[in-house]
Amino acid sequence: MSFAPSTTSVKLVLLGEAAVGKSSLVLRFVSNDFQENKEPTIGAAFLTQKCTVGDRTIKYEIWDTAGQERFASLAPMYYRNAQAALVVYDITKPASFIKARHWVKELHEQASKDITIALVGNKYDLVADDNDSDDSLRKVSMEEGKALAEEEGLLFFETSAKSSHNVNEVFVAIGSKIPEAKPVTEELGSRPGNVGRIDLSGPALRSNLSDCAC
Amino acid sequence: MAPKRRPEMSQVSSNGHNEFVFGEKGGRGKNLLSFLKNLSLTGPLLNSHKNDNSEEINRNINSSIYGEMTYGYTSPDTGGLILPKAAASLKGKRLSLLSFFPYGLSKIDTTDGSGTQSNNGGSSRLASPLFRHATNSMSALEASLRPSSRKSGFTDLDDDWDAQIDDVDPEVAPVVLKPVARSSTNDMIDLLHPDLMAFAPSLRISVERKPSQRHPSRDRALMDSHDRQAEQEVRFLNQMLTKLTKFQNILLKNDGTIDLHELRKLSWNGVPAELRASVWQLLVGYLPANKSRQASNLMRKRSEYAEGLKNVSTQILFKDDNVISSTANSSAASVPGGRDSNNRDNSVNKDKALYHQIKIDVKRTNPSMPLYSLAATQQSLKKILYLWAVRHPASGYVQGINDLCTPFYQIFLGNYIWQLQRKAAHKTGAPDDSPLFIPGILDDNDTQEQLILEDPKLMTYTAENFDPSRISDRVTAIIEADTYWCLARLLENITDNYINEQPGIHRQVSDLRNLILKIDPELLQHFEAEGIEFIQFLFRWMNCLLMREVSVGLIIRMWDTYLSETPLGFNLFHVYVCAAFLIKFSAELKEKDFQDILLFLQNPPTANWTEKDIEVMLSEAFIWQSLYVNKGAHLR
């Protein structure tokens, strides 16, 4: 098997408060599966998934980080050199939205300048039926989410890992914002001079590794 | 193949042990040679483990011998018998041999994570009358069986050190033994009267499935299968008995103080399930070795726990989760997430946020085991974790501590069930096991306890199939308190793992990296070439003590050893165990690239592991520790 020449590897990191559904979003995207009580992630979990965007294939290398505050000191290791980030909150938990704001700020300050960030309000299934009623479980309005996304220049989605609502859409949207023939090796990716420059060595190197049998 | 087994057979028969009598078989003569021949007939099965078909045959035989009820093989689609390549050769034999174990082994090798769950209900059958009864008649057998019955590795330093050296021979299939619970009370009969069970229809072997056995007389094959079963049975009983007796000798010694040094030595190689709760409590230093102080000490500690809980629950109402979660949200909202920017002016809100974190984690603790989805269990875990966190503010609650709580909880819950079972059995004539009970748990005035004692299904209960909501508040508080204090002792050993920045884990990771540099430099080189950072996979191994990588039943076995180390092995010794764990997969890992290495190490193939695998790993860790510790700052 060999990758089409247009396969792009994208390092993506998920950040957000504990129990907002980061791992569940990834599980839905990678395995199209859902588990009601998924064990808390410790440190970070690594997963991969391919995704077709237009005429090219994006291969996501996903770092799904743990949400608890104590593990936050590990986060820079994972968002360093990431080309994309999903900042996830739970639309029924206002605290998680505040936390999301914090992560966006940290990414803008610390991560690579051209990182593509998507703000994701998860657990849409909990409010899908009673969006307008007063006793809705929704605690963060879609407008609040959109406003933050516009302010910070982020993609924005409300998703449900449980119902799979909008999950693939997030990854497709990120994929289409990732420039073609993006440098994929970590060293190159972090070098500011490479921003926007077409770098042929990156993808070629990666596909050589995968095709080493030939 | 079979020929490789022959020298062993001839040795046995030339030693004049080819004829022997099974103690429980009423003097029916049994021919060991025919037993061994049967063993050798398994050759094709043993050696064709690469052939999926043979695994299928093997499993079919198993289920025809033991029925679906007792035999624990999982379906092929879960990969129950698909072995990791590296260990396949050895393991294939082990699995095949196990298929001849009549019972008491049914759950040895399941993939569901609860396979080797220590099981007080089951072992209670083994605990008393049977063993005592069986000893005399079987002791004569023990010698004659020894040449072919290697004990599982490192089961006993005192007696089997020599046997262990022999075990290096991979042609001798290692035997892994584990008492398990049976689902039916009728099963009591089979251990007490194995000869009755020999005629039970469920034990009939279906020889047609083995091509080589198609023509020989069916009766002969039937007899041979009885031989096999009886042989394994005797071997199994002897091992369990020897071990149990040694533990009992230490625990019941009459001079008032338990010899902890001896206990550690013995426990390092595994603790019998029914004694595990008290042995663990002794090893962590919760239950005093001085027997005259045990009852009073436990009473004090248990009331300390209750007091502590009373103080915190004036702020947090454990029962009213809705109130808590909504206020927890607003409180967390007032703390916009700076890493340590907790709002110190509002400690109540902080506590509520803490409680919220614990609550959401308890719900998703060990989701594969039904016990942990029960409300009563979750309630207990919440209290234990919350109290520990508020009393250890430097660390607080860190995800993963919830995992570490579970072995203690289920062992202590299982111990209560076991005490009830022994008490009920004593009423009907079984020996009195109460000298082995952890003090202060049973109470005749506890009406809920009396109800459980009268439950006709009492003997079938284990920590895995019992709903703790049936237990009185009094006993619930005791189990929680015991769990709390033992967890606290464990965490004392690894405090640095959970404080800010988790320096303990980073130290362990760097120690392990240096250790790999010494033991397996090629692996390190390969990791570096692929851009693997150790912290990427080791963080979880350290933070959860391998509980996410290995089933809880095997973790409990590992803790027998960790708890026997001085200082406790959760810190330093664990690094050596992780090294052994990693190196076990070294050959495979060296073939993989960055991505596959990480995916592999996040989900290492331990589903088919048995206690034997764990014991080998622990032994390797022990050897490396002896080699490298005290040799200067080797790890730095």
**Edge-to-edge strand order for the sheet containing A155-158?**
A44-53, A56-65, A8-16, A84-90, A116-122, A155-158
With H, G, I as helix, E, B as strand and everything else as coil, classify residue B409.
Answer: helix
- Contacts of residue B400 in chain A, CB cutoff 8 Å? 40, 42
Contact (CB<8Å) B364/A39: yes
* A38, A61, A94: residue with CB nearest B329: A94
Question: Two tokens at B288?
Answer: 């005093």
Say if strands A155-158 and A56-65 run parallel, antiparallel, or are unpaired: unpaired
Mutate which: B368, B536, B538, B600, vs A, most A CBs within 10 A = B536
Q: How far apart are CA B64 and CA B207, in angstroms?
A: 10
Dihedral sign, CA of B437, B611, B137, B182? positive
Mutate which: A26, A70, A73, A91, vs B, most B CBs within 10 A = A70
Contact (CB<8Å) A43/B539: yes
- Contacts of residue B329 in chain A, CB cutoff 8 Å? 93-95, 139
Chain A: give the shortest CA distance to residue B500, in Å: 7
DSSP H helical ranges for A15-166: 22-31, 75-79, 94-110, 142-152
* Domain A6-185 -> CATH class: alpha beta
Question: Two tokens at B450?
Answer: 């009396």
Q: How far apart are CA B56 and CA B77, in angstroms?
A: 11
Q: How far apart are CA A145 and CA B239, in angstroms?
A: 65
Contact (CB<8Å) A99/B366: no
Mutate which: A33, A46, A47, A148, vs B, most B CBs within 10 A = A46
* A44, A69, A95: residue with CB nearest B333: A95
pLDDT score, position A31 = 96
- pLDDT values of chain A reduced to their tens digit, one per residue, 214 residues: 444 557 889 999 999 999 999 999 999 999 999 999 899 999 999 999 999 998 889 999 999 999 999 999 999 999 999 999 999 999 999 999 999 999 999 999 999 999 999 999 999 999 987 666 667 899 999 999 999 999 999 999 999 999 999 999 999 999 999 887 544 444 444 444 443 444 444 333 333 333 333 3
Contact (CB<8Å) B399/A48: no
Mutate which: A42, A71, A208, vs B, most B CBs within 10 A = A42
Burial bucket for residue B384 (CB in 10 Å: 0-12, 13-18, 19+): buried
Contact (CB<8Å) A48/B402: no
pLDDT score, position B218 = 64
- The nearest alpha carbon in chain B to A48 belongs to B595
Chain A: give the shortest CA distance to residue B77, in Å: 18
Q: Which of residues 127-156 of A touch B (CB under 8 A)?
A: 139
Q: What is the pLDDT of residues B291-334, one digit of tens each?
A: 999 999 999 999 999 999 998 876 665 654 444 443 344 444 33
Q: Which of residues 42-81 of A touch B (CB under 8 A)?
A: 42-48, 61, 66, 68-74, 77
- The nearest alpha carbon in chain A to B326 belongs to A93
Mutate which: B349, B357, B591, vs A, most A CBs within 10 A = B357
Q: How far apart are CA B206 and CA B44, in angstroms?
A: 16
- Chain B contacts to A (CB-CB under 8 A): 329-330, 332-333, 335-339, 357, 360-361, 363-367, 373, 396, 398-400, 402, 498, 500-502, 531, 533, 535-536, 539-540, 543-544, 548, 593, 595, 598-599, 602
Kindly provide the b/e burial profile for residues B567-578, where b requires at least 16 CB atoms within 10 angstroms of the residue's own CB. Answer: ebbbbbbbbbbb
Chain A: give the shortest CA distance to residue B495, in Å: 14
* A43, A48, A73: residue with CB nearest B540: A43
pLDDT score, position B435 = 93
Which long-range contacts (C-beta less than 8 Å, at least 24 apart) are formed by B196-199? B197/B102, B197/B103, B198/B25, B198/B226, B198/B229, B198/B230
Contact (CB<8Å) A102/B333: no
Which long-range contacts (C-beta less than 8 Å, at least 24 apart) are formed by B185-188? B185/B457, B185/B459, B185/B460, B187/B103, B187/B125, B188/B125, B188/B459
Beta-carbon contacts of residue B59 (< 8 Å; ≥ 6 apart)? B73, B76, B81
- Contacts of residue B599 in chain A, CB cutoff 8 Å? 46-48
- The nearest alpha carbon in chain B to A102 belongs to B337
Contact (CB<8Å) A48/B502: no
The domain segmentation of chain A, as residue ranges, is 6-185
pLDDT score, position B372 = 96
- Contacts of residue A15 in chain B, CB cutoff 8 Å? none
Q: How far apart are CA A143 and CA A153, in angstroms?
A: 15
* A38, A44, A61: residue with CB nearest B595: A61
Closest-CA residue to B625 (of B582, B578, B576)? B576
Contact (CB<8Å) A93/B598: no
Mutate which: B595, B597, B599, vs A, most A CBs within 10 A = B595
3-class SS shares of chain A: helix, strand, coil, % to 5:
40, 25, 40
* A46, A66, A73: residue with CB nearest B501: A73
Which positions of chain B have pLDDT values less than 50? 1-214, 320-345, 632-634, 636
CB atoms within 10 A of CB B117: 26
Contact (CB<8Å) A73/B339: yes
- Contacts of residue A72 in chain B, CB cutoff 8 Å? 339
Closest-CA residue to B306 (of B489, B473, B487)? B473
- Contacts of residue A18 in chain B, CB cutoff 8 Å? 357, 360-361, 399
Contact (CB<8Å) A44/B536: yes
- The nearest alpha carbon in chain B to A45 belongs to B602
Contact (CB<8Å) B533/A46: no
- Contacts of residue B402 in chain A, CB cutoff 8 Å? 40
Chain A: give the shortest CA distance to residue B310, in Å: 27
| Predicted model pTM | 0.69
Chain A: give the shortest CA distance to residue B412, in Å: 23
Contact (CB<8Å) A95/B329: yes
Contact (CB<8Å) B360/A19: yes
Beta pairing partners, A60: A10, A49
pLDDT score, position B237 = 85
* B332, B399, B599: residue with CB nearest A68: B399
Q: How far apart are CA B282 and CA B301, in angstroms?
A: 14
Beta-carbon contacts of residue B297 (< 8 Å; ≥ 6 apart)? B287, B288
Q: How far apart are CA A196 and CA B487, in angstroms?
A: 53
Chain A: give the shortest CA distance to residue B312, in Å: 22
Q: Residue B427 to residues B122, B130, B424, B451, B548: CA-CA distances in angstroms?
A: 19, 16, 5, 15, 42
Q: How far apart are CA B48 and CA B89, in angstroms?
A: 9
pLDDT score, position B157 = 34
pLDDT score, position A201 = 42
pLDDT score, position B229 = 87
Q: Which of residues 81-100 of A touch B (CB under 8 A)?
A: 93-95, 98-99
Does A101 reach chain B within 8 Å, measured CB to CB? yes
- The nearest alpha carbon in chain B to A16 belongs to B337
Burial bucket for residue A123 (CB in 10 Å: 0-12, 13-18, 19+): buried
